[in-house]
Structure 1
Amino acid sequence: MNTPHISILGAAAGLLLILPAVLLVWKLKLGFNRQLITGAGRMVIQLSFVGLYLIYIFKLDSILINIAYLGMMVFFAALSGIKNSSLRLKRFLLQTFLAMLFPTFFTLFYFNLLVVQIPNVFRADIMIPIGGMMLGNILKSNIVALKTFFTLVKREEKVYLYLLATGATRNEALRPFFKEAVRTAMAPNLAMMATAGLVSLPGMMTGQIIGGSDPALAVKYQIMLMIMIFFTGLVSILIQLYFAVKQGFDSNDRFDKSVLRP
């Protein structure tokens, strides 16, 4: 079964759905029309360019280019994550990059070597799309984890100081905030796994079925991918919060508010 083609007129019809959304936002005075229009415009331009140059990347299938491209994806994910977490870029960019890079590369290597069992574990048409799906979920989880953690520390700073005064170590005093940040960040992934197939058909499975793949194979890929995404997201969050504690507190265990961006 061939994938139905989307013509230019069909694409234009799809983009027209932005207009009623813009009108609703304007009518209800929700105040994010500028972000909506800018975001939609950037999405169209960026994905159009991605579609063009991925054709050549897939044809070249160079190990060095594939690794470099994935590294670039991780960098921009880290950049976006810090900006959306309202933290100082210089203080957290490197740590966030590493917290995303190592789990992503490890899981991709594991997936390609032991699950898909392909000879070239750096194969472009497997590594880049699956890496992108992992990074999209890691990005969301890390933003939620960082925001939750620092919001709780800022709001409950007196509780934190009290726990320190009663003899708790920094890690012991921060444990309630740490656990809540991890639980909050991982809740969407847990819900997604629990409701997959009942509430929705996940993205990769839907794409493969539309592309003509056997539904049974699509299900296998989706199950494996969701497990990989959950594992990668959890490890990335734990590394991210470890670095957050290192950066967010001084040598006397006091919360350093300068890490927060006004």
Structure 2
Amino acid sequence: MITMLGIGLMAILIILPLLAASVFRVDALKTVFAAFAKMLVRVGVLGAAVYYLVEAGSVWLDVVFALVFIVYTIITVIVQAKLSVRTYLLPVCAGMFVALLVTGGLLYFINHLADRGLSGHFLLPVIALLSGSMVEPMAHSLSVYYMGLRHHNHLYYYLLGNGATRSEALNYLMKRAIEKSLVPGMRQMSGLVVGCSPVLMWTMIMCGVPVPDAAFFQVLIVLAVFAATVLSVVVAVWTARRYVVDGYARIKSEAVKFDSVTEQNTENNEQNI
């Protein structure tokens, strides 16, 4: 139960880092306040929406909200990866939806075995956990593939000139993208017991869930996110093949086109290296 005392004590959690920043004269107060305000607004809007959805108890409303959340996630992936919307919108959509259907379907089947129905208590959190957890690794993986098209296209043409097919030549770039999608999942699994990594398990235990159930659910979600991330990247990159190469096996210019901001960031990174 939320109380005024609880809210007041919660304020200490933001006051302590601000106090430390003030004592050591770290110029980050405005940034911290801005980030905190954004968090309150976003969590408030999301919390209000989910509250009314759960109260309504309508599966159709839950599905509509889940679709809106997925679309927002897709846009976030494209923006973070600095991809061409025209070229990569459909591949990212395909990867995201296929991954969510497969992994979400498996989680629903496991939930059904526990004699629980499909409701907002299950659908919305699972969609949010899966799609939200896929944003960063998927964006990074697609960014690697996208950068490879620009900086390593000479290797693509070299392979074609030595008898490789279009698919065989693109497999190298696809391999690098899949490798980048595997790393976060392996890192999360290897460090699952340390610190705040099993945050879901600790939260569920605090809420009174039996320890074996909480541990099982933590492992289940980590594996689901890992599978969804890799599957989404594979489907997205595989789908993007027809949009980045023309009928003559040449890489399309719009598939490797950077905006001025991306170009500047790339040049800066190369100089730093």
User: Structure 1 length as normaliser, TM-score?
Assistant: 0.85
In the alignment, the residues of structure 1 paired with residue 113 and residue 245 of structure 2 have an alpha-carbon distance, to the nearest angstrom, of: 44
Matched AA of 1:238: V
Q: In the alignment, is the contact (CA less than 8 A) between 1:3 and 1:212 conserved in 2?
A: no
In the alignment, the residues of structure 2 paired with residue 35 and residue 250 of structure 1 have an alpha-carbon distance, to the nearest angstrom, of: 46
- Show the 5 A alignment for 1:190-209: 190-198=186-194, 200-209=196-205
Q: In the alignment, is the contact (CA less than 8 A) between 1:146 and 1:181 conserved in 2?
A: yes
Q: In the alignment, is the contact (CA less than 8 A) between 2:145 and 2:176 conserved in 1?
A: yes
Matched, 1:67 2:63: yes
The residue aligned with 1:258 is 254
The residue aligned with 2:267 is none
- Distance of aligned partners of 1:84 and 1:37 in 2 relative to their CA distance in 1, 3 Å threshold: farther
Q: Name the count of aligned residue pairs.
A: 257
In the alignment, the residues of structure 2 paired with residue 36 and residue 171 of structure 1 have an alpha-carbon distance, to the nearest angstrom, of: 48
Q: In the alignment, is the contact (CA less than 8 A) between 1:109 and 1:121 conserved in 2?
A: no
The residue aligned with 2:168 is 172
Structure with higher Rg: it is 2
In the alignment, the residues of structure 2 paired with residue 33 and residue 143 of structure 1 have an alpha-carbon distance, to the nearest angstrom, of: 30
The residue aligned with 2:211 is 215
Shift of 1:231: 1.5
Matched AA of 2:7: I
The residue aligned with 2:119 is 123
The residue aligned with 1:7 is 6
- Show the 5 A alignment for 1:28-107: 39-107=35-103
Shift of 1:71: 0.8
Q: In the alignment, is the contact (CA less than 8 A) between 1:121 and 1:127 conserved in 2?
A: no
- Distance of aligned partners of 1:59 and 1:193 in 2 relative to their CA distance in 1, 3 Å threshold: same
Q: In the alignment, is the contact (CA less than 8 A) between 1:61 and 1:123 conserved in 2?
A: yes
The residue aligned with 2:222 is 226
User: Structure 2 length as normaliser, TM-score?
Assistant: 0.82
Structure 2: state its 5+ residue gaps. 260-273
RMSD: 3.0
In the alignment, the residues of structure 2 paired with residue 78 and residue 39 of structure 1 have an alpha-carbon distance, to the nearest angstrom, of: 22
Structure 1: state its 5+ residue gaps. none
Shift of 1:36: 6.8
After TM superposition, the structure 1 stretch with the greater mean CA deviation from structure 2, 86-95 or 185-194, is 86-95
In the alignment, the residues of structure 1 paired with residue 144 and residue 32 of structure 2 have an alpha-carbon distance, to the nearest angstrom, of: 25
In the alignment, the residues of structure 1 paired with residue 6 and residue 241 of structure 2 have an alpha-carbon distance, to the nearest angstrom, of: 51
Identity, in percent, stands at 17
In the alignment, the residues of structure 2 paired with residue 34 and residue 182 of structure 1 have an alpha-carbon distance, to the nearest angstrom, of: 39
After TM superposition, the structure 1 stretch with the greater mean CA deviation from structure 2, 36-45 or 186-195, is 36-45
The residue aligned with 2:264 is none
- CA deviations on 1:201-251 (whole Å, 9 max, x unpaired) are 422212212222222210011111112111211111111111222222222
